[in-house]
Amino acid sequence: MTELFGTDGIRGEVNQGNLKPEKILSISRALASYLAQKSKRKVVLIGHDGRLSGSYLANLAAAGVQSVGLKAARLGLCSTPSLAFLTRLRATAGGVMISASHNPFYDNGIKPFGEHGSKFTVEQEEEVETLLETSDFTLARREKVGPSENVQGWLSEYVEALSNRSVFYPGRILVDCANGGASRLVREVFEDNCNALITVNDSPDGVNINKDCGSLNVEKLKDEVLEQDVDIGFALDGDADRLLAVDEKGEVVNGDALMYMLAVDRASRQELEGLIITVMSNLGLRNSLSSAGVDYQVVGVGDRQVYQRLRDQGWNLGGEQSGHIIDRDWMPTGDGLHTLAAVLEILARGDKKLHEWNSEVPEYPQVLLNFEVIAKPPLSKLKESTEKIDKIETKLGDDGRVLVRYSGTEPLVRVMLEGKDEAELEAYAREIGETICAEINEISK
């Protein structure tokens, strides 16, 4: 992770820090210059999700692209996956998505993509930072200034491609669109691919994105599923790169259960090389995968790390407990709508209902607490905190684990514990978090 880019692009409050207008212009200029150096293509695709500031920041990003002589292809309101897909399909130099994913409306961010539709690597981000720091790019003059074009019609190509990969599901489904970038796309893809489709939170007004809805508020979807008498409910986040579900009994199906379902089904049809999961996945998933004979590997937090390991191993499926699932046979980043289509395809065969799949992944109690920090020194340098963590890990033994990491986008340290006793885990998590905060405060004086 670089200083400018977090674990998932640049993110923060609009008109503050790296999201001040002059900064956005400079960053997009550097991004476009980098893309121009790496590709002979002269088009950069730009899109935004349903935030009030989306078009405003997209305009600034387009201006930066045009200022160095490239064409700004403006996709408008869209999902992050649709932009990534079209970046590759339309053979552009790269893409810039204006989104802060699951954050509230007043935040926003920049997610850059290369010409093959994959997120930037750390090395690519470092090169962009160098360009930004040195201003090592030339502004276009006269007829060399880049043009701009509205290309929202391109979204129909994404809809068509995804529709062609979908099968008809003979049941009723409900989709919570999180008032985000996929609000219109959901109906275009799935209305003719199921017996009945109900969409909720599908009217973005600029400030309602992720507000009491979507994959971070999936408990509300449980009530909708039972009230609307549907077979299954799905919840996207603001830019639709992740998906969670609720089964026919009103129980939440998280990313671990969805990955298990997809991996076991593919393995049964000899279409799975192996599965990549992250350290955030529950111990229950690991045990279930082992019982099912599915080969898996574990990487650090972030879909980028998942993709890099998939690429290195030549495997095709991986993801996170949050519901961010990557199918390399589709494209090199997560796509909530594609995951939705894949789940419906399995269920349409009628072998098992979603609740049956969900029950095959027992979930160990898991506690995740966030603590605000004033600095982020390497955790390995915090001696007292390290000793505290080691002591608690010894107490938990083989029946639990501790994971501590800093947030990539916020001034937080995240403390996650798994084990058999939830009350005990919460007490241990507070001990660890308070120790870390106190030690950071002490060394920062």
Residues known to be catalytic: 101
Per the CB < 8 A criterion, the answer to whether 181 and 240 are in contact is yes
Neighbours of 372 (CB within 10 A): 11
- Of 114, 134, 109, give the one whose Cα is nearest residue 11: 109
Per the CB < 8 A criterion, the answer to whether 47 and 83 are in contact is yes
Collect all residues with Cβ–Cβ distance below 8 Å to 267 and sequence separation of at least 6: 292, 293, 294
Please state the separation of Cα 29 from the chain's center in Å.
25
Rounded distance, CA 88 to CA 158, Å? 11
Per the CB < 8 A criterion, the answer to whether 7 and 301 are in contact is yes
- Read off φ and ψ for residue 67, nearest 5 degrees: -65, -20
Per the CB < 8 A criterion, the answer to whether 137 and 10 are in contact is no
One DSSP character per residue, 208-233 reads -TTTT-SGGGHHHHHHHHHHHT-SEE
One DSSP character per residue, 317-338 reads EEE-TTS-EEETTT-SS--HHH
